[in-house]
A and B are shown apart, each in its own frame.
Chain A
Amino acid sequence: KNQVEQSPQSLIILEGKNCTLQCNYTVSPFSNLRWYKQDTGRGPVSLTIMTFSENTKSNGRYTATLDADTKQSSLHITASQLSDSASYICVVSSDPSGGSYIPTFGRGTSLIVHP
């Protein structure tokens, strides 16, 4: 069964500090991996998308890495801001050549940035 596991479940950091969120997956065959930011009461917003051949992708202060061999990804947030407080969700999609497209979502990491 395709699974996406995220850690930690929650994280509290001080404003200005860096942090790294982890995502491990067992989705196969792999198509792409996405990181989303979801503010409370809002829909997820895409941060990065990585395919098999990409091992790093940046979007401002967010940098995602992908190791397709170990099936691990990380999201690094630099110089955190109060507005970074949100849930960060890792989503892995299967290769659609075998059938329909179904993404598998992790449960998310809840990040709280304190002043």
Chain B
Amino acid sequence: GAGVSQSPRYKVAKRGQDVALRCDPISGHVSLFWYQQALGQGPEFLTYFQNEAQLDKSGLPSDRFFAERPEGSVSTLKIQRTQQEDSAVYLCASSFERGHYSNQPQHFGDGTRLSIL
């Protein structure tokens, strides 16, 4: 497809389980971002990749959160030992240019809605 694809669209997990969320960015896009969006809030930055390099992970809330983009295309956000406060929509976005030259639009996926029971 032409847009950013995220899977699964919905994920329900029990507290303590590990989850993995996938993002397929637009082909050829250099920059990839992960955001967390709580209900009724704006997205909050989690981490940023330029190709395969994770240049900024300052937004990851704890060491239970881990993101990778090993070949510079598909990215996975992993959450270990999930907690109820991890329940949110996780959005992925990509853009053509490097994030340091940020005047290009970011293209968002529709997100993964994660619910921790």
Contacts and interface: CB of A to CB of B under 8 A. Distances in A.
A103 B105 contact: no
Contact of B56 (A93, A102, A104, A106): A102
Contacts of B93: 43
A31 B44 CA distance: 18
B58 A107 contact: no
A100 B44 contact: no
A46 B110 contact: no
Interface string A31-52: 1101010000111111001010
Nearest to A97: B100
B108 A45 contact: yes
Contacts of A49: 103-105
A44 B56 contact: no
Interface string B1-41: 00010000000000000000000000000000001000011
A79 B93 CA distance: 30
Interface in A37-74: 41-46, 49, 51
A63 B110 CA distance: 25
| List of 6 A-B pairs having minimum Cβ-Cβ separation, nearest first | A43-B108, A105-B42, A46-B105, A100-B56, A101-B99, A96-B100
